[in-house]
Chains A and B, each alone.
Chain A
Amino acid sequence: MMPMTPLITNPRFLRVAAPLLIGVVLLLAWQLLCTALAVPVYLVPTPSVIAKTLVADWGLLSDSLLVTLKITFMAFALSVLLGVAIAFVFVQSRFIEVSLFPYAIILQVTPIVAIAPLIIIWVKEPTFALVICATIMALFPIISNTTLGLRSVNPGLLNLFRLNKASRWQTLRRLRIPSALPYFFGGLRISSGLALIGAVVAEFVAGTGGTGSGLAYQILQAGFQLNIPRLFAALFLITVTGIVLFLAMMALSRVALAGWHESELG
């Protein structure tokens, strides 16, 4: 038993240390099991082999990572712009929202794998085609959350604005937009992950057709060549990207809402 230090009782330290510890234990178990049972490297490579591959193939993998990152970020940025714009249109009137919202839901329920081939056929420029696929994936949470946020205004405050004869623009800028921020950031968090998944899925579809250079393409190629360590290394990079994106969105939301919203207090 380790002696109790003040550091261990610190919840902030614990929040970082506890998941790290679990990760180390799992990696060790993985390493030991694979070694002990002599699992061949083309079935399940050990973490150490994956790490070595990551270093050895870094030139190839980092190029692919950049491609995937580029598509992810472009799609994410496009979803935010489009999603917010659409949400603003939706809250202009119930009629607009009621008529158009079902079509927004189509975005959410259409399996991207099913329509990606079509988009790739229709759109000549490959990067653009992939960005469209990933955007379709990432758009809906932004639309629905921002719309909800713009509508979730304290009725008392709304009355106060009416009483003071506030213009539509004043109400939007000083009341609706600040009220919507917590919801918007919630949407951002979901959407950032979906943009990455969308990019990877679209790359997969494009990769099956023989074109591509992103991480998903590397996974596909590594699979064909039975280069399983490289497959895992690429997978690892995608996972890390997803986690970094998520943490970045958390940090952004903390900075923006610090000091007033319940979700970021304490």
Chain B
Amino acid sequence: MKRDDHTLPYAVTWEQGVAAPAGLSDPVLSAQRVEKTYRNGTRALDEVKLDIRRGEFISLLGPSGCGKSTLLKMFAGLEEPSHGHIRWWGKNLATVGTADHTLAMVFQEATLMPWASVEQNVRLPLDLNRMPRTESDVRVRAALKLVGLDRFYQAYPRELSGGMQMRASIARALATRPNLLLMDEPFGALDEFTRNRLDADLRKIWSEQDLTVVFVTHSIYEAVYLSSRVVVMAARPGRVIADVPIEAPGAGGMRDDAFRISPEFMGYCKILSDYLTQANQEGGDHDAHDAAHH
């Protein structure tokens, strides 16, 4: 492989807008009384109110059937809410995809095209947006470098391990230089060691880029490790029961392995675990959400 990586800046920085976008205090994403009821009458999600601000790392944490994936799909515009509405940068979905309002999503599975190389897979969203080759080349290289796959340009997905496929999938999302990155249990199928390493790398990427992340998970540990704020959800009906900021060391940057075994970490896990247990015992207790901040 040709090694001309040195011609690129080491850590590729996002092209931030020269002037801050109008209304900096506007949330990146805002769910206003969003509900989802399926046609067969199943209530997937009960009235959610949620504002996500620029630079936050939010986890949606909850058991299966709590509507966290449904909520994320609505954030991606892949599903319509039955009631209420969602605003992206204060506007509707049509504004997403412009230069400084880009949204990308990483799915539960790597969803790579098996017939295409890693490079072609990562380039796909750029090709779909008709980006000139010279520009997309730079972005694909940068994104693959960020996820540590820069030696696997020409590899095919089947030649990669599960963790590396997920890295390629993340690179594909990062190549679009998203302002908002939605991740739907991306590491759920990976073993614990791989998952921890990817969590650490993701946290590092987030801290280095101007990136707002909404991350769906059912792992309490993963949520605490990654997030600046954890939104706890319960099932039947799917609803938000708590909103817990994680103000732990390293909130502004890297969280190392020591954080995983610190008393603060365990403390947060206990809080989240208590909310989840309580929600399961009480069934449909809607008032639990007032107890969020204490």
Q: Which residues of A contact B (CB under 8 A)?
A: 154, 156-157, 159-166, 170, 174-175, 178, 181, 259-261, 265
Contacts and interface: CB of A to CB of B under 8 A. Distances in A.
Contacts of B78: 159, 162-163
Nearest to B76: A163
Given A259-B156, A260-B156, A265-B158, A161 B111 contact: no
Interface string B91-134: 00000010000011101110101111000000011011100000
10 contacts: A156-B109, A157-B113, A159-B76, A159-B78, A160-B125, A163-B77, A164-B124, A170-B128, A174-B113, A265-B158
Contacts of B107: 156, 159-160
User: Which secondary structure dominates where chain A touches chain B?
Assistant: helix
B113 A156 contact: no
8 residue pairs, one from A and one from B, having the closest CB atoms = A156-B111, A164-B128, A260-B115, A260-B114, A156-B107, A166-B128, A164-B125, A178-B115
- Looking at chain B's contact residues, is the secondary structure mostly helix, strand, loop, or mixed? loop
Interface residues of B, number: 23
Among B77, B107, B111, B115, residue most surrounded by chain A Cβ atoms (within 10 Å): B115
Nearest to B108: A156
Given A159-B76, A159-B111, A260-B114, 20 more contacts: A156-B107, A160-B107, A160-B125, A161-B128, A163-B76, A163-B103, A164-B125, A164-B128, A165-B129, A166-B128, A174-B113, A174-B124, A174-B127, A174-B128, A178-B113, A181-B115, A259-B156, A260-B115, A261-B114, A265-B158
A255 to B, nearest CB: 13
A157 B111 contact: yes
B141 to A, nearest CB: 20
A159 B69 CA distance: 14
Contacts of B76: 159, 163
Interface in B155-208: 156, 158, 176
